[in-house]
Amino acid sequence: MHQALELHHHAQEKTLKRFFSPEHDKHMVKLQPGDVYVSSDDELIATGLGSCIAACIWDPLSQIGGMNHFMLPLKREEAESTWTPEQHLSRAARYGNYAMEILINSLLQQGAVKNRLRVKLFGGGNIMGQNIAIGRKNIDFVRQYVINEQLPLVSEDLGLAFPRRVLFEPRTGKAWVKKIQSLSQQELVAEETQYNQRLLQESYDDGADEQDVELF
């Protein structure tokens, strides 16, 4: 049995929330921004996404998979300006690079093989307002990363103007996406705004309506 791995962008953050879901008859692990989780157990990984991205990556043969939840820290003027992922590799994109690399490396450490890895991408919604296209920048980054790493992209649900709830089954690669309620949307906007501000500060110190579930 492979041991599940959980990692956080901040070492002092609390342990990931775990609970049993009677609806799915499985244990579930909830990710917050900055988290990465890898498992070969028969369980689900869940997260709520606004402008953030979740990459779900798995090895169908080894039946090991994982999810990350990340955002590129961008100031308002950066979010509104013309931008490509390559322009921010030294600052904003390093957070995305870290989130992707730690997920992939954790999978390989647990027995996955890189040329068997498969990817599904979610999030990047424009929920912070039309003038703050952070979601768009996150999408541009993660799509370019997948291309650069030559990882097969199986499916994606990215962009548009609503937040998402994502469930991922790490052993099989199955993923379910649901639009979430407006109250949760407000909470997500507040959470992601605070997270973006925290990442920006680190960078300085360093230098919708309920819908049916869709299967991806």
In tens, the pLDDT along 100-116 reads 999 999 999 999 999 99
Q: pTM (2 decimals)?
A: 0.82
pLDDT higher than 90, residue 208: no
The C-alpha angle with vertex 9 and arms to 16 and 98, in degrees rounded to 5, equals 125
Which range marks the domain in which residue 23 is found? 5-215
CA distance 101 to 17: 23
Tell me the CATH number at 94. 3.30.1330.200
Task: Give 16's pLDDT tier (boundaries 50, 70, 90).
Answer: confident
| pLDDT, averaged across the chain | 82
Higher pLDDT among residues 58 and 195, named by residue: 58
Two structure tokens written together for 173: 């690669």
Write down the residue that tokens 């369980």 correspond to.
43
User: Buried b / exposed e across 148-161, counting CB within 10 Å, b at 16+?
Assistant: eeebeebbbbbeee
In tens, the pLDDT along 32-60 reads 999 999 999 999 999 999 999 999 999 99
> For residues 43 and 66, is the Cβ–Cβ distance under 8 A?
no
Closest CA to 143 of 119, 160, 126, 162: 119
Number of domains in the chain: 1
pLDDT higher than 70, residue 5: no
SS3 136: helix
Task: Give 97's pLDDT tier (boundaries 50, 70, 90).
Answer: very high
CA distance 1 to 193: 38
pLDDT higher than 90, residue 84: no
* CA dist list (Å): 21 to 27, 38, 46, 103: 6, 19, 11, 25
> For residues 93 and 72, is the Cβ–Cβ distance under 8 A?
yes
> For residues 160 and 126, is the Cβ–Cβ distance under 8 A?
yes
